[in-house]
Amino acid sequence: IEEIEAVCRFAKEEGIPLFVLGNGSNLLVADDGMDGIVLQIYKNYSGIEVNGNELTVKAGTLLSSTSKAALNEELTGFEFAGGIPGTFGGAVVMNAGAYGGEMVQVLKEVKVLTKDGEIKTLKAEELELGYRTSNVLKNEYVVLEGVIALEKGNKEEIKAKMDEYALARKTKQPLEYPSAGSTFKRGKDFITAKLIDEAGLKGYQIGGAQVSEKHAGFIINKGDATATDILNLIEYVKKEIHKKFDKNIELEVQVIGEK
CA 102 to chain centre: 11
DSSP code string of 30-79 = -TT--SSEEEE-SGGG--EEEETTEEEEETTSBHHHHHHHHHHTTEES-G
Q: Are 188 and 259 in contact (CB under 8 A)?
A: no
Task: Considering the candidates 25, 179, 182, 212, report the single residue annotated as catalytic.
Answer: 182
CA gyration radius for the chain? 19
- Among this protein's residues, is 64 annotated catalytic? no
Burial of 98 (0-12, 13-18, 19+ CB in 10 A): middle
Q: What is the 3-state secondary structure (H, E, C) of 142-153?
A: EEEEEEEECEEC
Active-site annotation holder among 132, 145, 179, 212: 132
Residue 37, C-beta contacts closer than 8 angstroms, at least 6 positions apart: 7, 10, 11, 16, 17, 18, 19
Cβ-count burial of 67 within 10 angstroms (0-12 exposed, 13-18 middle, 19+ buried)? buried
Q: Known catalytic residue: 252?
A: yes
Catalytic residue among 73, 109, 145, 252: 252
Annotation says 186 is catalytic: no
Helix axes 155-172, 63-72, angle to 10 degrees: 150
**3-state DSSP call for residue 233?**
helix
Active site residues: 132, 182, 252
